[in-house]
Amino acid sequence: MGKIFCIHPIDPTTNFLRKRLIKGLKKSLSDKMYVLEIGANQREHDSSLRVIQKATSDDLIIFLGHGGSDYWQGAAEYNYDGSVSNGIEKYIDKSNIEVLADKKIISFSCNSTEKLGELAIENGAITFWGFGDIPTDYNSIFFEDKPFERGRARFKGELINSLKLSIFRGIQDHLTFEQTFLYFKLRINKSHSDLILNHKGFKGNRKVGELLFSVKNEMKLFGDKKALLLI
């Protein structure tokens, strides 16, 4: 039976992933799931890379954190003014992308559809599910020209719940990446409909729905779409 390796570089701006997604998956898949929470030091990053390298084609790698078009960002610590005080800027990029060879990956990080997905496949990865922009930072969601905290919380809740249920369904029902990918899209469509039809008193529903649709439309699968999520 394959294992799930959940990679989460520690960063206060992504704590919601640990609280909502990782804990939810562990509750249902504890016998299969291994969580690597990485501190802001080189030793822990190097140790986690060795774990990833030893994973097999039966396993699933889930990365949860920040990133760019061609890299995953490492853990970070921040000063009071928001500047980074300590951390690893690039955890996996073109210099060490070969650790993903023969791996199946869900990359829940911003803009991994631009270059990183293709780069991973070119260097031997089996399947790579990438995302585009995922606007979860405080200043990334606005409504009526103001930071939209209530909408941001709802957006994150709907998005993470849909992803959690999709991964769980994909593993329990032995679905392929393509089937799980399409199921996630269906969950987002349902969330959008529910927001518009059943919560009319919340003025920002249309904005939240637009953001969910944007995330759904910017996702992309690379490599073998027929590969099972977990063997």
Phi (first) and psi of residue 47, to 5 degrees: -65, -40
For residues 138 and 147, the answer to whether their CB atoms sit within 8 Å is yes
Q: To which H or E segment does residue 60 belong?
A: strand 60-64
Q: What is the pLDDT of residue 114?
A: 97
- Predicted structure pTM score: 0.92
206: pLDDT strictly greater than 80: no
Q: What is the pLDDT of residue 142?
A: 55
Percentage of residues of the chain with pLDDT beyond 70: 90
Q: What is the pLDDT of residue 202?
A: 62
More confident residue, 81 or 167: 167
**Cα–Cα distance between 118 and 222 in angstroms, integer?**
7
Angle at 214 between CA 205 and CA 169, to 5 degrees: 90
Beta bridge pairs of residue 84:
78
* Residue-wise pLDDT tens digits, 127-170: 999 999 998 765 555 555 555 677 778 889 999 999 999 999 99
* Residue-wise pLDDT tens digits, 10-49: 998 898 898 899 999 999 999 999 999 999 999 999 999 9
Phi (first) and psi of residue 137, to 5 degrees: -70, 160
Among the residues of the chain, which ranges form H helices? 15-16, 23-29, 42-54, 116-122, 149-172, 177-198, 205-218
Angle at 33 between CA 29 and CA 35, to 5 degrees: 130
* Residue-wise pLDDT tens digits, 64-73: 999 999 999 9
Mean pLDDT of the chain: 90
CA terminus-to-terminus distance, the chain: 6
Domains of the chain: 4-223 (3.40.50)
Percentage of residues of the chain with pLDDT beyond 90: 70
**Cα–Cα distance between 104 and 98 in angstroms, integer?**
13
Determine the angle formed by the axes of helices 177-198 and 205-218, rounding to 10 degrees. Answer: 170
Q: What is the pLDDT of residue 194?
A: 82
For residues 227 and 177, the answer to whether their CB atoms sit within 8 Å is yes
